[in-house]
Structure 1
């Protein structure tokens, strides 16, 4: 082969290699530029641009009508860029000045501003005055950025539902925790261009990435109904509740539900706390006992026994029954709460009288399997799914080990352990036509633009009893209030259904003598229930109707008036069997609450007084920041309006509404000489 041919082959091979190299290079450059361009550009920006985070405004928490229950207010945070501080050579000078202004130990300040990190927060939530002074000093590497702080304008109102957020605006309890992801928003930043040594470049570029505000959580809770409930709890916990005679219970809860949808209109618990100062309260005050604590329900559970017996047609309301004062099961006598018993009566009267032997007979006719079937169907022994952390399951007796005697005591509300939310949800099932609804606290989620991004949806769980059974039991429970043991929930001109209950407390496997959990459950109007209310009071020496009935009656009356539910012309004005010492004052006419927001205190008092309302105030200052009830709602004439006082930069701290009672109801006389197993 000639040298010329060999040379041409070598040149061709070299050309081929160069071409392949160039093709690979072009493909690689194209891949880097097109496929990885954004990512590499971001890495370059991360290297050259360093940012100071700008916190987003956390979304509000509102009640069902848009009243703000939790909000974020602007505040300031002092930060340091340690590399710039060190390069300035003024570490000692900067430390001294910051220590004086921030009232922090100098050693702590110096550690923060010289730490080996790109950015370090020196102190959060500083006052505007301090922030202005630090800005004016123009200290190298030290800056002030906008931040936000959680604020609860109504203080303790609905505290157990709302929960609270920490110093970094992270949800820690309640809705603040369960809906943290939707409310926290997206962080922004102020970006500046830096050299590799961490020093800002001369005439450096700056970029501002705007933070995105979080969504607003609108609750099912009604601020006014919540305030009605908390007002009554405050009376109980101060010993001023009806028939309390100065005695203070260990704890108490009032829950209000809309039976048809499962929406919670109020969920109040005492003791309570102020989420603005949650660190100052014992952890026990922050416990939501209506969700997390169980108790033996006593006679309020008879609503469930009655529903099962009616649905299975084991009894008829007109069927006769004889109560000798006890019911014998496996050689043991389970007493009636009334000495000597109720004698001959119908099963309608068994319900009206809360007759223990009559309800035990219902349980025995149902049998163990059917009884447990309805326990499960009504949701006992399982979580309701309400949006609160730490919900308890309740405790049911082991079916495999349960005896006929256990069935007897379970039929009258003992042995088993339930939560308040379980019982109210079950009773609401009876009230709404027979469908178990999941209790809900969130009505909808609203975006920063005001558009609803997640609407409310009812969540039926299962059909438990039929419409006919529900209608019949509503009539029976209405008779309990009109004719029987539930007369303390009676409201003239309204059809009210209800059931009282008392269970002795258990300790070390035995009942404590003279200490009870008193409760009362009620719904109205009985023919078309709009509200279902449960009161549970722990640790009182009185029976349920005496102490738990009046709070239910007060909350029910104010709520019906507030919601504009008119009196029924066919409803009785007095119970058919008046209770000794219990008188019913006529209900006053409804009156519309005027708006006094923004007025000076003196002017607001004058407006409300002329409209026929009493006035109470909370907070300090001379301007009206808020009022409960809110403007343009109707409540009973002569009620009390609570005004929150403050100056332009001030804020109220409490949200209880007290109202004087016109009647003094005497307690049910304690039975002498014995302690009954169960009281109505």
Structure 2
């Protein structure tokens, strides 16, 4: 082979090697540029761009009509970049001046701005004067960024439902916690270019990534109905409730539900707190007693016993039962609240009279297995799934160990432990045609643009009784209010169904004499229920018919009027068996409340007075910023309208439409000893 040929082969081989190298290099460059370009660019930016977070505003929490219950208002936060402060050589000077401006200890400021961290928050939620002073000082490595804080314009209204947030705007309790992901939004940032020495570059690029506001959570709660309930609780705690005679309970709760959907319209309880200043209250005031506390329901539970007996055809309305004043079970007597008993009565009259022996007989006819089947079907002994943290499941007596005597006491609402939300949910199943529904607090979730992201959906758990049984029991419970122990919840012109309840309190495994949990649960209109209301008053020496029934009556009346539910022409105007001292004045007509928002105090008072309303004023300021009931609401003529002149929206003080009466159920004596009961008289109302 000639030297020329060998040289050409070598040149060709070298060319191929160089070409292969170039191909590999081009492929590698393409991979780096196209495949890893974005990631490497991000890493490069991170090495010389530093971001100052911009907090998003949490979404609003609103009631079912769009009234704001929780909102975010702008505030400012002072931050520091320790590396830049160290580079400036002015650490001591900056710490000294920041401590003066922010009114914080020098040691705390020094510790923060010398941390080994990319960025630290020196102080959140500073006032405008302090923020302006920090900006004017123009310290290297120190700046002010936009922030927000939570504000609850209605103070304590629905506080246990809404909850509150922490210093970093994180949800801590209530809806603020359970819907924190939807409410909190997405943070933004301001990116500033720095050199390798940690100092901001002259004329450096600044990139702004705006935060995304959180979604709006619209609740099923109605602000006005919630205010009606809060008003009655305030009366109770002031000892001004019906027959309270100045004595205040230890705690109380009022729940209002739409029995057809499971939507909670009000969930009020006392003691309560203001979420704007939740740190100032005892932690016990923040406890959601309607969801987290259990109690023995007493006679309100007879609704469940009656439903099971009717469904299983163990009784018929026209059937008879003879009450001698007691019922003997395993050698023990469970006595009726009426001395000597009620004698011969129909099963409807057993319900009207809240006759303990009659309900014990229902339980005995059902038997332990069947009775427990309905306990579980109605949701007792298990959580309802309501969107509140810490829900209690209640406590049921051990079925395997239950005796006929346990069955007797359970049939009249003793022994077992339930929560208020469990009982109202179960009674709503009786009212709505027999469907147990999941109680709900969230109506929908909307995006900042108004798009519905999560719509409301009724959630049926199971059918517990038939529609025919539901209809029959509604009629019987209506007779309880018209003819029986629930007459203090009677509303002229409205068909109301309900049941009283009184249970002696249990402390350390034994009943406490003279201290009761008084309750009443009712729904209206009885033929087509729109509202179910439960009031539980804990720690009073009174019975449910005397204390809790008037509370339900007042909340239900104002709520029915507010919702525009008109009286029924075929509904009675007085109970068929009036109680001594229980008199009903003529029914007032409904009247529409004029809107006075934006008016001066004098103009608002004149407008409302001319319309026939009384006026209650709260707050300070030149104009009316809120009113309860709202404009165009339909309420009793002559009622009181609360107008708010300040930032805090108050609780209304609508007038009662008849005077408080003396106690009824005079024959009730006492509850007796701990189970097993021996010659014990258990309150029937």
**Which TM-score band applies after superposition, normalised by the shorter structure?**
over 0.9
Residue 334 of structure 1 corresponds to which residue in structure 2?
334
CA distance in 2, matches of 1:13, 1:343: 120
Aligned-pair CA distance for 1:25: 2.1
CA pair 669-368 structure 1, distance change in 2 beyond 3 A: closer
Residue 274 of structure 1 corresponds to which residue in structure 2?
274
Aligned-pair CA distance for 1:4: 6.5
Contact 1:625 1:652 in 2 (8 A): no
Contact 1:55 1:211 in 2 (8 A): yes
SS at match of 2:445: strand
CA pair 21-345 structure 1, distance change in 2 beyond 3 A: same
Aligned-pair CA distance for 1:537: 0.7
Contact 2:514 2:670 in 1 (8 A): no
Question: Residues 442-482 of structure 1, C-alpha deviation per residue, up to 9 Å, x if partnerless?
Answer: 00001101121111111011111111000000000000000
CA pair 588-484 structure 1, distance change in 2 beyond 3 A: same
Residue 658 of structure 2 corresponds to which residue in structure 1?
662
| 2:596 pairs with 1:596 | yes
Moved more, 620-629 or 588-597: 620-629
| 2:577 pairs with 1:540 | no
- Which blocks of at least 5 consecutive residues in structure 2 are unaligned? 672-680
Contact 1:626 1:645 in 2 (8 A): yes
Aligned-pair CA distance for 1:611: 1.5
Residue 106 of structure 1 corresponds to which residue in structure 2?
106
| 2:426 pairs with 1:431 | no
CA distance in 1, matches of 2:658, 2:486: 20
Aligned-pair CA distance for 1:398: 0.7
CA distance in 1, matches of 2:254, 2:402: 32
SS at match of 1:548: helix
RMSD: 1.6
Question: Residues 521-550 of structure 1, C-alpha deviation per residue, up to 9 Å, x if partnerless?
Answer: 000000000000000011111111100011
CA distance in 1, matches of 2:538, 2:525: 28
CA pair 374-672 structure 1, distance change in 2 beyond 3 A: closer
Residue 635 of structure 2 corresponds to which residue in structure 1?
635
CA distance in 2, matches of 1:171, 1:471: 43
Residue 70 of structure 2 corresponds to which residue in structure 1?
70
Contact 1:494 1:524 in 2 (8 A): yes
CA distance in 2, matches of 1:658, 1:544: 23
Moved more, 175-184 or 27-36: 27-36
Aligned-pair CA distance for 1:8: 5.7
SS at match of 1:18: helix
Contact 2:668 2:683 in 1 (8 A): no
CA pair 134-660 structure 1, distance change in 2 beyond 3 A: farther
Question: Residues 188-246 of structure 1, C-alpha deviation per residue, up to 9 Å, x if partnerless?
Answer: 11111111121111111111111111000000000000000000011111111111111
Residue 416 of structure 1 corresponds to which residue in structure 2?
416
Residue 304 of structure 1 corresponds to which residue in structure 2?
304
CA distance in 2, matches of 1:543, 1:501: 7
Question: Residues 556-610 of structure 1, C-alpha deviation per residue, up to 9 Å, x if partnerless?
Answer: 0000000000011110000000011111223211111111222222222222222
CA pair 660-556 structure 1, distance change in 2 beyond 3 A: closer
SS at match of 1:678: coil
SS at match of 2:425: helix
CA distance in 2, matches of 1:13, 1:126: 74
| 2:391 pairs with 1:395 | no
Residue 677 of structure 2 corresponds to which residue in structure 1?
none
| 2:683 pairs with 1:678 | yes
Residue 153 of structure 1 corresponds to which residue in structure 2?
153
- When normalised by structure 2's length, the TM-score is 0.96
Residue 676 of structure 2 corresponds to which residue in structure 1?
none
1:248-287 correspondence to structure 2 within 5 Å: 248-287=248-287
CA distance in 2, matches of 1:276, 1:173: 13
Question: Residues 70-96 of structure 1, C-alpha deviation per residue, up to 9 Å, x if partnerless?
Answer: 000011111112222222222232222
CA pair 239-661 structure 1, distance change in 2 beyond 3 A: farther
Residue 473 of structure 1 corresponds to which residue in structure 2?
473
Aligned-pair CA distance for 1:640: 1.5
CA distance in 2, matches of 1:380, 1:144: 54
Residue 167 of structure 1 corresponds to which residue in structure 2?
167
Aligned-pair CA distance for 1:632: 1.3
Aligned-pair CA distance for 1:21: 2.9
Residue 215 of structure 1 corresponds to which residue in structure 2?
215
Moved more, 96-105 or 368-377: 96-105
Residue 235 of structure 1 corresponds to which residue in structure 2?
235
Residue 675 of structure 2 corresponds to which residue in structure 1?
none
Residue 494 of structure 1 corresponds to which residue in structure 2?
494
Residue 369 of structure 1 corresponds to which residue in structure 2?
369
Contact 1:155 1:655 in 2 (8 A): no
- When normalised by structure 1's length, the TM-score is 0.97
| 2:539 pairs with 1:574 | no
CA distance in 2, matches of 1:563, 1:287: 30
1:79-228 correspondence to structure 2 within 5 Å: 79-228=79-228
